[in-house]
Amino acid sequence: MSIAPLTPADYAEIQNLVALYCVTTDNADADAFMRLWVEPAEFGGYDSGAFGKMDTWQAMYEFEKHHVGPGGMANGKRHQSTNIVIEAISATEAHVTNDMLVFEVADAPFLMATGRYNRSVVVKTAQGWKFKRRTLDIDSGFFRLMARNQAAPQALGAAVPAVAPGGLPSIAG
């Protein structure tokens, strides 16, 4: 049994979906972010390790509203996806792997975190391609940076801001 190939338009739409995931977070638009996901009954979950696991669409929406809202971890950050690999599973499902880069942009700009979304499940719906499930693996260097920053913020230089008590800078988008 052969897998029906995705069309060039499918590949372009999936790449745009990944880009919009970052842009809607950076624009603090939780409603637009959630329009990138399947309907609540089809939601397959979101797991970002240290940043949380959401098993329902509503939990993901509540997380994103807080994440991009006043005082949220995404404020002052720019998220970028690179190395996007799209693997066709069928004509209506694909797995997407991509690297995530998170830059501090509200202060002196610098790369503050990296991670990889592994085999995100995207499905073709009547409204176009949507995320069904995502898993983010945050690179270990991010946690070492945060530990050093909390232990001795001055040792990292003026470009690296201190982390707010109880909060981590954003990697989950």
Count up the domains in the chain and report the number.
Answer: 1
Determine, yes or no, domain membership for 171.
no
Residue 82: the pLDDT is 97
DSSP-based three-state secondary structure for 150 = helix
Determine, yes or no, domain membership for 72.
yes
Residue 51: the pLDDT is 79
Average pLDDT (61-70) is 94
Check pLDDT > 70 for residue 81. Answer: yes
Residue 152: the pLDDT is 67
Determine, yes or no, domain membership for 32.
yes
Determine, yes or no, domain membership for 82.
yes
Determine, yes or no, domain membership for 71.
yes
Q: Give this prediction's pTM.
A: 0.83
Determine, yes or no, domain membership for 144.
yes
Determine, yes or no, domain membership for 106.
yes
Average pLDDT (11-32) is 97
Check pLDDT > 50 for residue 159. Answer: no
**What CATH number is given to the structural domain containing 89?**
3.10.450.50
Contacts of 105 (CB under 8 A, 6+ apart): 76, 77, 78
Question: For a pLDDT cut of 90, what percent of the chain falls above it?
Answer: 69
Residue 161: the pLDDT is 46
The domain of 146 spans: 8-156
Q: Per-residue confidence at 169, pLDDT binned at 50, 70, 90?
A: very low
Determine, yes or no, domain membership for 165.
no
Check pLDDT > 70 for residue 141. Answer: yes
